[in-house]
Structure 1
C-alpha cells in the first residue's frame, strides 16, 4: 500500500488541501502543483481515510515527512523529529534520569497523552497497522515506543492531527502517526552519521543500510539499523549542576547525619548539651577513621550550613543517559496472480539504555528515620561509642530498636544506583491484497495478520539489602552465625567487603503482546453527477496482553524488621497480568455533492462509523463527519466533527501497586502559612531536605473500575493557495476537543495542593511524619475525571519558488494553545475542581506554553543546499519560589546545515550544527533538581554533526 500523506479523515476529499508537508530540510511546506487530470494515476490510501481514490494530489498537500527529509532534518531519531512539531506536547524522550522514559520515546499530540507525555491518546501505526505497546523499567506501558522501530525500515511519516476513532478505533483521540515502511526497489541505500556536542560529550553514531531486489514476480527488502549515544552528566552543565531549591537545613552527605541519644551532655565523651540531638545532629569529620575511646566524639561535629552542604547532582548523574540499539527488517513480496499479491515481513529490534542516579541516601533508625526497627548494640564492631572502640562497658552506648536514634548517609562506597534496560521487539506479519469487480467498478481488498512482542529485562544496581544491613549492624553473635555476614561501619569509611555485603541488585522483566488481524475493501458503489460515491468497509480483531514479573526479593517482607518494610531499597510493585480482546467493524462513505459549478468549484462530504466491542468495557459506536467547500480554485473551507473512544488500557486497569518517587512542590513547606491541610507541619519543614532532593515517596496503582473515555472534537479551517502567486500557501485551523470521563491521574503537586488548601478528604492520599512534616507516602491512581477540554489554532505560511540560481523555500509553522482544562469531580462535594494548564509550567515535566513554532529558510542549488531552522517555545509560568521570578522564559533554538550532492543525490555529504547559539533551557524551579522540563527542552547545548549517504 502506498501512503501519500496525512489527511483530516472525515473530510479527506477537501479538508486537507494546504495542510503542511515537509520540505527536504524537514520543515512544513505546501505543494502547489496543479492537479493532474490523468485517470491512470495509481490509487492510493491516505492516512485518516480507508478509501482509495485516484490522484490524491488534487486534494492538496498533506502533512508528510519522507525518508530523504528525515535524513536532512538533523534529527537524531524519529521521536526527536516528531517532538519538535509545534502541535506536540510534552513527550517522553531518552533524556536523563529525572524522568520516566527509561530509554523510550513517545509522541504526544495536543498535550492529550497520559501522565508525563506517554502519548496513549495518539495512535501510532506502521503501514496503517498497529504496533505493539512499550515496556519499561517499572512495568509495561500503554503507548508505542518509537525507539522500537528500526530506522532503516522507515520510508516516511504521516501526521494526522485529528481524531480518527471512527476510522482506526480506540486511541486516536488526539491524532494518528503513520510510519511508512520502505517499498520494493532495486539497489542499495545507506547512510552514516556522527555527532558530538561542543563540550566533547553526548557523542552519537548511527548507520542504516537497505538492500532491495526485484525478481520477476518477487521482491525482497532487507534493512539493518544501528544507533549509539554517549551520556552527558548533570555536573557538566551549569543549569543542571545543582538544584535551584535552596538548602535551608543540613541534608544527607557521605559524612552522615547522626542523631544518637545518650551523647548529649555525656560526661565520658565530654560532649556539649544537644550534641547529636534531634536539633543538633552530628556529621563525621572525614578521614581514615575515628578517635578511640573517649576521643571518639572528636571525630564528629555538629552539622551546619554551609560547611555541610552536599550536592547530589554532582555525583555522576546522567543528564542524558547512554543508549544503543540495532534492528533488522525484512520483507518478501510475491505476485501470486495478476489480481493477488502476497507479502511477508519480519522485524527485530534490540535497545539497551542506562540511567545513573546518586548513591542510596540511607535513612534508618530505631523509632526514627524512614526505615525503623534497626539496632546497634554497644559491642557492634564499628560502633565508635561502644566497647569495640575501647569504651568501657559502663560507658559504652548502644542504640536500641525502641530508641529514637537515626542515621542518614549517602552510601558512596556501595556506588551509584544504575538502572539498565535491555528491550527486545519482535514482529512477524503477512498480508494479501488484490482487486475484483463489483457493480461494474474495480474494488480493492486486503487481509492482514500480525503478531508482535515487546520484552524487557531490567536491572537496578547498587541498592541496599535491609536484612543484611540489619545483621551487619546488630549483634556480633548473630552476624557471625549468618553466612557471609560482614560487620558494617556506618560511622566512618566503609570497606569494599562491607559494601559488597549490603549491596543489592534487583532484576525483573515484563512484556506486552499484540495479536492483530484486519480485512478491508474499498471501491465505488456508483457514479454521481459530481463524481464517484466511494465506500470502504472492514473488520478488525485485536488482542492485547501485558505481563509484569517484578523481582521477588524486592517485594518480599523483611525477615527482621516489621511487616511495614521490605527486604531492600528497591521500589516494590505487585505482579501484573492482564489482557483484553475486541472485535470492530467500520464503514466510510465519500459523497461528492457538486463539482465545477458556476457558483462554486466543489463540495464534498465524508461520513464514517465504527462499532467496537471490548471484552472489558463492552461495545461503543463512534461517528465522524466532514465537509470541504471550495468556492473557487485556491480557497478551501473545511470542517470536521469526530467522536472519539478509548477503552482503559491494560496498564490503567491492572497495574499492580508499585512504589515510586514523584517530583512535586509541597505547599506545606515552611509550615504552610496557615493552610488548612498543613496544620501541625513545623515551620522549619522543607521537603527538599528529605528523600533524594525532596522527591516524594509514593504508590501508583491501576483501577479495574475504570470506564471508557469518549470525546467530541471539532475542527474548522481555511486554506489559501492563490494561483496568482505560485508556491504561496496559508492554512489556519481551529480545533476544539472535549474528552468525557477522561482517564487520568492527578499529579503529585495537584494532590498536595488540594490537600493543603482544602484539607479533609483531599488529604487521604497524603501521609506525613507527625514530627517532621515530611511526606512518607502519596497515593496516585488512575480515575475517570469529569473531562479534559482543549482548544487552539494551528497556522502555516509557506512560500516556495525557483530562481536562476536555485530554489528558495521559506516556512512559518505555529501553534497556539487557547485552553487545556482538566475538570475533576469534587470528592468533598460542591463545584468541580478546574485546573487550566494553558500557559503554565509550574508542575514538573508539564510545560504548556501558549505559543510554539518552527521556521526555516532553505536554498537548493544544483549540487549544494543549505537550510537554517528555528524552533520557538513560548514562555510559561513557574512555581512561586525564592530564587527566581515565577516565569519560565521563552527560548529559540537555531539549527543550520549545508549539504553537497553528487549525481543528483546518489551520494551526499552534509555537515550541520544544532543549537547554533548554545541556548540552554530556561531555568525552572518546578523541575528541580534537574531545573528544566526534560520532555520539552534540550540541555545538550551546541551540537555538531556530519552525515554521508549513498544510493546505488
Structure 2
C-alpha cells in the first residue's frame, strides 16, 4: 500500500513538472514569441495544466504560475529552431530585430575567427562583441570564448552542441539584480533537452544557387527514463564550405578606386641608380619613387645590360591588381561536433540529482591574400634590408653578368624599396581548433517550510575552453634578410637560401622565408550556486513569493603567443620591427573571483477588483563582491498592471553593473591591423581644412602602405579600469483580446544609459578626431614623416564614455483556424531612436557626442533605425508552409566618389514547405533562404569587402532540405 502511495506521489510530481514545462508556451499570449501556435485543444490543455504547476521563466528566480511581472521576453522553441532555416543558434538570434552587429560571419574581413556571439541593443563593447549580454544555460553561466589572437570576454555560441538545445528565452531587459554582472543589454537563456523516452534525430543539407557554401549537419538524441532515473545522450555535427570573395560581384573588387600602382605578384621596385643609367640605357626617372618599375608578365630577365628590358614603368590600368580575387573568403569553412550527456536520479521523494557533461570541438579557418611585402633600405614599411651587387638574384649585379664597375647594389642606407604580393609563398591561412569541456552537478528538491513547499537547488560546474591556432604562410624577416644579403653571410648560416624578389621564386626559396605561427589560449570557469524560492505569506491578492540565493564564480584566462613572433629580430632594428609578419603581443594571464547574494520578492497588490484585474510588483537586489574592483549592489523593480484581463501594462527599472573582464584588465599589448579610412588621404594640400593633416606629404595614398591600406596598431588592457554601471527603463503594453482568440499585440519602449562605459574609440574615430582637431587628438597616431603613412595607432579600453540608447519594440501576432488549416502570422519590429556615445573632450570644452542611429559610415558598425521580421504560416493535416521576411533599414555611408552616401535598405525573403509523416513521427522540409537572391547593399565604409559582414548575408539564394524523426 505504501509503495503504491509513493509511486502515485512520484507520478503526481512528475506530471506537475511536465505541466510546468508545457505552460511556458502560455507566454506567447503576452510576450513577443517566435513559437508556432497550437490548436485550440492544445491551448485548452495547457491552460488546465498551468493550474497544477509552477514555472521559472528567464528574468526571475521565483516559481510562479504565470510570468506577468517579468520584462519583455522572447521565447524560441525547439520547433522554431528546426523551422528557422538557420544552421546555428548565433545565426538565428542575429535575425532578432533588437540584435545588433554580432560575430556570426566566419569571413576574412572580420574578427570572429569562427566564433558566434549575440549583441543585443548594439551594446557590445567592441565590434560584434556580446560582452554586455549575459548568456546562460538553464539559468547558469557558460564559459567565455577563445580566439585567434587571444581569448574573449563573451560566450561563443558555437561552443554549445546544438543537440543539447531544446529552446531559448531572450530577455530584452536589464537583469543584473537577478543574475549578476554582464546583463546590461539583456539575457539569453538556453534551455537544454529534458528527460524523455525515445529517439529524436535530424539531418540537414544545403547549398547556394551558385554551388558554393554547402552545409551539412545532423543531430541524434536518445533518452530513457525509469522509475527513479533518466539518461539523455545527444550527438551533433555540422560542416560548412567556404564562399570566396571573387564568387560574388559585390565582393570581387573593392569599391575604393585604385589611384596608383600598388602591390602585385610582379613587384613594384624603387631602385636608386637605375634612372638615366648609361650602362643599362634607361630613361630619366626609371625606377625612381615617382616612376617605380614592374616586371613584365612572363618575362625572363636578360643578362648584363639587357636586365632592364624585363621591366617597365608601372602604370594604371595595366598594372592594377586585385587582392580580393586571390581566394579570400567571404565566408570561411567550419566544422564542429559535440556530445551532451545528462543523468537524473531521484535521491529521495523530494530531491533529485542531475549530472551533465558537454564536449564540443570546432575547426575553422579563414583565407587571406598572400603577404603584401613592403621592404627596403631607408624606404618601405620595414627598413634596414640590403641587396649587395653580388647577390645571386640581383638582376643589376655581377651574378647576372654585369661588370663590377657597372653593377648596382642596394644598401641599407639607400632609399630603395620593393613591394610585392608574395603569391609564391601562398595565401595566408588562419586556422582554429577549439575544444570546450563542461561538467556540472546539480541537486534540486522541495522543502516543507512555513506550511508550504519551497523549491531549492544547489549547483556546481567546471568549464574550459581552449584553442590551438595557426597562421600559415607569413614571412620570416630574419631569413629574408639573410637570403637577400651577401653570398658569404648566407653561406655562413646553415640552411640559408638566396632569395629572388625580382622574379618568381623557387619552392625552396619560398620554404626558406615562409613562417607559420602557432599559439594557444584558454578560459576557465568555476561556478557554484544555491537558490531557494517559495511563498512567505498570503495577502488578499495572493502569496508573497521570495527567492534568495548565493553564487560563487571564478574566471581565469591564459594566452600564450608564439615565442618566435614575439622574439626580437636579429638583423633589423628591434625597436621598430618584428621578426616575422606575425602580429606580436605579450602574454595575458589573469583571473578574478566573486561572491554574490541576491533576493527577489513578488508582491500581489490586488486581484479581481472592480477597478482592475490585478496589480503585481516585483523587487530584486543583488550584492556582488569582486576581487578586482570591490563590491556593488544593484536593484530592480517591476510592475505589472491589468486594468482588464485583456490588457497588461508593464514597466521595469533596473540598475546594471559590469565589472571589467580579464581581457579588459590584463590583455597584453598586441599588434593588430585596423580597418578604416585615413581622412588625411591625399596629404595636407588636399585637406587644407583638417589641421591634423598638417605635415602629411602631398600625394600620400593610404592604399600604398601597410598591407593595402590597413592601419597598423596596438591594443592593450588597462588594470586601472573601474566597473561600468547602467540604468535601464522599460514600459509597455501587451494586448490579447479574448474576443479575438489568437491575436496579441505588444509595444515596449526601452531606454538604457551606461555610465563610465568601458570602451575604446574606434580607429576611424581616433583618425577623424586627429584630423579635425589636431593637437592632443593626434597623440595616439604615429606617422612616417617622409611618406605620411600611419606606423602605429594606439587603442586601449578606458572608462571614458557614457552610452545612451532608446527605442521601441513591437510585435503583432494573429493565429487562427480555418476549414483548410491553421494560419499563423507575426510581425516583429524594432525602432532605434538613438544610440549616443558621449566622450570627454581631451582639449577641454564640450564633450564629444557621437550619434550612431541611422548611420553605417564605420566598418562593421551598421545602425539602421528600423529592423523587422514577419512570417506567414499555414499548417494543414500533413503539410505546412511558411513564408518569412526580414527587413534591414537604410543607413548612411561614407562620403565617396563611386556611389552615393547611403546604404540602401534590404528585404530577405525565405520560404519553406514541410511534410508530416505518421503524425509527425517523421518530417521532411524543403526550404529556400533569400528567395530573390538579394546581395547586401554596397557600403564604401566596409571596403574592401564592400558590405557589413556582421549585419548582412552575402551568400545569396540558399536551398536546403531537412529530415527528422521522433520515435
Same fold? TM cut 0.5: yes
1:689 CA drift (Å): 2.6
Pick from 586, 589, 596 the counterpart of residue 598 of structure 2: 586
Matched, 1:762 2:762: no
1:701 to 708, 716, 727: 716
Distance 1:501 1:36 in 2: 73
Structure-1 residue corresponding to 2:8: none
Looking at structure 2, the residues matched to 859 and 670 of structure 1 have their Cα atoms a distance apart, in angstroms, of 59
Does the CA-based 8 Å contact 2:28-2:75 persist in structure 1?
no
CA distance in 2, matches of 1:611, 1:6: 33
Alignment equivalent of 1:811, drawn from 790, 803, 826: 826
The residue that corresponds to 1:559 in the other structure is 570
Q: Secondary structure at the match of 2:707?
A: coil
Select 1:831's aligned residue among 846, 852, 866.
846
How many Å separate the matches in 1 of 2:27 and 2:335?
Answer: 41
Deviations 1:737-769 (A, max 9, x none): 000000011111100000000011110111112
| Map of 1:230 onto structure 2 | 241
Contact 2:20 2:53 in 1 (8 A): no
Q: Which residue does the alignment assign to 2:286?
A: 275
1:125 aligns with 2:136: yes
Contact 1:660-1:700 at 8 Å conserved across structures: yes
1:509 and 1:591 mapped to 2: Cα distance?
A: 51
- Equivalent-residue separation in structure 1 for 2:67 and 2:31 (angstroms): 13
Query: How many residue pairs align between the two structures?
Result: 944
Find the aligned partners of 1:245 and 1:164 in 2 and give their Cα distance: 44
Matched, 1:683 2:698: yes
Tell me: CA distance 1:759–1:777, structure 2 relative to 1, closer, same or farther (3 Å).
same
State whether residues 24 and 72 of structure 1, in contact with CA within 8 Å, keep that contact through their aligned partners in structure 2.
no
Q: Is 2:678 aligned against 1:666?
A: yes
* Cα drift, residue 591 of structure 1: 0.3
Match of 2:96 in 1: 85
**1:458 & 1:218 partners in 2: Cα distance?**
41
Deviations 1:178-227 (A, max 9, x none): 00001100000000000000000000000100000012211100000000
Q: Which structure 2 residues correspond to residues 456-495 of structure 1 after superposition, within 5 A?
A: 456-495=467-506
Q: 2:83 aligns with which of 34, 50, 72?
A: 72
Q: Which residue of 2 aligns with 1:931?
A: 946
- 1:233 and 1:137 map into 2 onto residues whose CA distance is 21
- Alpha-carbon distance, 1:829 to partner: 1.1
Which of these residues, 860, 868, 885, is aligned with residue 883 of structure 2? 868
SS across alignment from 1:787: strand
Q: Which residue of 2 aligns with 1:644?
A: 656
Contact map agreement 2:594 2:625 (CA 8 A) in 1: yes
**Cα distance change on mapping 1:45 and 1:23 into 2, 3 Å:** closer
The question of whether the paired residues in 2 share the 8 Å contact of 1:6 and 1:48 is answered with: no
Distance across 2 between alignment mates of 1:869 and 1:506: 44
Deviation at 1:798, TM superposition (A): 1.1
In structure 1, distance between residues paired with 2:942 and 2:571? 38
Gaps of 5+ in 1: none
Q: Does structure 2 retain, via aligned residues, the 8 Å contact 1:819–1:838? A: yes
Distance in structure 1 (CA, Å) of the matches to 2:27 and 2:95: 24
Residue of structure 2 in register with 1:415 after alignment: 426
Aligned partner (choices 93, 99, 104) of residue 110 of structure 2: 99
Cα 1:5/1:261, change in 2 over 3 Å: farther
Q: Distance in 2 between matches of 1:579 and 1:132?
A: 13
Alpha-carbon contact 1:6-1:63 (below 8 Å) kept? no
Contact persistence 1:693–1:929 (CA under 8 A)? no
Whole-Å Cα distance in 2 between the matches of residues 814 and 430 of structure 1? 40
- Once residues 701 and 641 of structure 2 are traced to their aligned partners in structure 1, the CA distance between those partners, rounded to angstroms, is 60
CA 273–3 in structure 1, closer or farther in 2 if over 3 Å, else same? farther
Task: Find the aligned partners of 1:921 and 1:673 in 2 and give their Cα distance.
Answer: 35
What is the SS of the residue equivalent to 1:44?
Answer: coil
Name the SS for the 1:546 alignment partner. Answer: strand
For 1:331, the equivalent position in structure 2 comes to: 342
Q: Distance in 2 between matches of 1:74 and 1:445?
A: 38
- Say yes or no: does 1:252 pair with 2:263: yes
CA shift in 2, pair 1:2/1:93, >3 Å: farther
Q: How does 1:260-409 map to 2 (within 5 A)?
A: 260-287=271-298, 289-409=300-420
For residues 847 and 20 of structure 2, what CA distance do their matches in structure 1 show?
Answer: 45
SS at match of 1:669: coil
Structure 2 counterpart of 1:613: 625
Alpha carbons of structure 1 residues 351 and 631: separation in structure 2 relative to 1, 3 Å? same
Q: 1:39 to 1:667 in 2, by over 3 A?
A: closer
1:693 is paired with a residue whose SS is helix
1:53 to 36, 59, 64: 64
Output the CA distance in 2 between the equivalents of 1:218 and 1:881. 66
Aligned counterparts, 1:134-153, within 5 A: 134-153=145-164
Aligned-pair distance for 1:38? 6.5
Taking the aligned partners of 1:355 and 1:25, their CA distance within structure 2 comes to: 41
Which stretches in structure 2 are left out of the alignment for 5+ residues?
1-16
Q: Residues 391 and 308 (structure 1 numbering): CA distance in 2 closer, same or farther, change over 3 Å? A: same
1:116 maps to 127
Residue 146 of structure 1 and its aligned partner are, at CA, apart by 0.3
SS at match of 2:305: helix
The TM-score normalised by the length of structure 2 is 0.96
* Post-superposition offset of 1:68: 1.6
Instruction: Write the distance in 2 (CA, Å) between the matches of 1:490 and 1:161.
Output: 57
> 2:179 aligned with 1:161, yes or no?
no
Query: Post-superposition shift, 1:33?
Result: 6.7
Per-residue deviation, 1:723: 1.2
Cα 1:507–1:59 change in 2 (3 A) is closer
From 669, 677, 698, give the equivalent of 1:657.
669
Shift of 1:71: 0.7
More deviation in 773-782 or 507-516?
A: 773-782
Using the alignment, how far apart are the partners of 1:540 and 1:847 within structure 2?
37
Deviation at 1:903, TM superposition (A): 1.9
* 1:633 is aligned to 2:645: yes
The answer to whether the aligner puts 1:791 opposite 2:806 as a matched pair is yes
Match of 2:5 in 1: none
Find the aligned partners of 2:553 and 2:445 in 1 and give their Cα distance: 23
Residues 246 and 869 of structure 1: CA distance in aligned 2, closer, same or farther (over 3 Å) = same
**Per-residue displacement from partner, 1:808-838 (whole Å, max 9, x unpaired)?**
0111100000000011111111111110000
127-136 vs 724-733, which moves further: 724-733
SS of equivalent to 2:808: strand
> Residue 175 of structure 1 is aligned with which of 186, 196, 201?
186
Where 2:127 maps in the other structure, the secondary structure is helix
Indicate whether 1:444 and 2:467 are aligned: no
Matched, 1:435 2:446: yes
- 1:371-430 CA-to-partner distances (Å, cap 9, x unmatched) read 111000000000000000000000101111111111000110000000000000000000
Distance in 1 between residues matched to 2:788 and 2:44, nearest whole Å: 67
Deviations 1:230-261 (A, max 9, x none): 00000000000000000011111001111111
CA distance in 2, matches of 1:56, 1:621: 25
Task: Give 2:521's match in structure 1, choosing from 495, 510, 517.
Answer: 510
